[in-house]
Homo-oligomer: A and B are copies of this chain.
Amino acid sequence: MTERTPITLSRFAAGDAGQWQITSIREFRGGSLPSARFLAIDSPQTGNTAWTLRGAGSNLRYTTAAERVLLQAKQEGLGRPTSTRAALLPIRKSAEWWAMAQDERRAVYERGSHLPIGLDYLPGVARKLYHSRDHGEPFDFLTWFEFAPDQETAFDHMLVRLRTCAEWEYVDREIDIRLTRVSD
Report which A residues bind B (CB closer than 8 A).
1-9, 56, 58-68, 94-96, 98-104, 106, 131, 133-136, 172
For A3, list chain B residues within 8 Å (CB): 95
Contacts of A6 in B (CB 8 A): 136
**B101–A65 touching, CB < 8 Å:** yes
CB distance from A155 to the nearest CB of B (A): 26
Contact of A64 among B7, B96, B102, B133 (CB under 8 A): B102
A7 is contacted by which of B65, B101, B136 (Cβ under 8 Å)? Answer: B136
Known contacts: A1-B96, A95-B1, A95-B3. The answer to whether A134 contacts B67 by CB under 8 A is no
CB distance from A115 to the nearest CB of B (A): 12
Please tell me if the beta carbons of A56 and B134 are within 8 angstroms of each other in the complex: yes
Quick check: A60 and B136 within 8 Å, CB to CB?
no
- Nearest B-chain residue to A130, judged by Cβ: B134
Q: A59–B136 Cα gap in the complex (Å)?
A: 13
Closest B residue by C-beta to A93: B4
A40 to B65, CA, bound (A): 41
Q: Determine whether the beta carbon of B134 is less than 8 Å from that of A101.
A: no
CB-CB under 8 A for A99 and B2, given A8-B136, A136-B7, A136-B8: yes
How many angstroms from the CA of A64 to the CA of B102 in the assembled complex? 5
Nearest chain B CB to A53 CB, angstrom units:
14
Across-interface contacts of A65 in B (CB, < 8 A):
100-101, 103-104
Q: In the bound complex, what is the Cα–Cα distance between A116 and B2 (angstroms)? A: 30
A146 to B136 Cα, complex, angstroms: 26
**7 tightest A-B contacts by CB?**
A2-B95, A64-B103, A65-B101, A56-B134, A4-B95, A59-B98, A68-B101
- Shortest CB-to-CB span from A72 to chain B, Å, is 11
Minimum CB–CB distance from A132 to chain B (whole Å) comes to 9
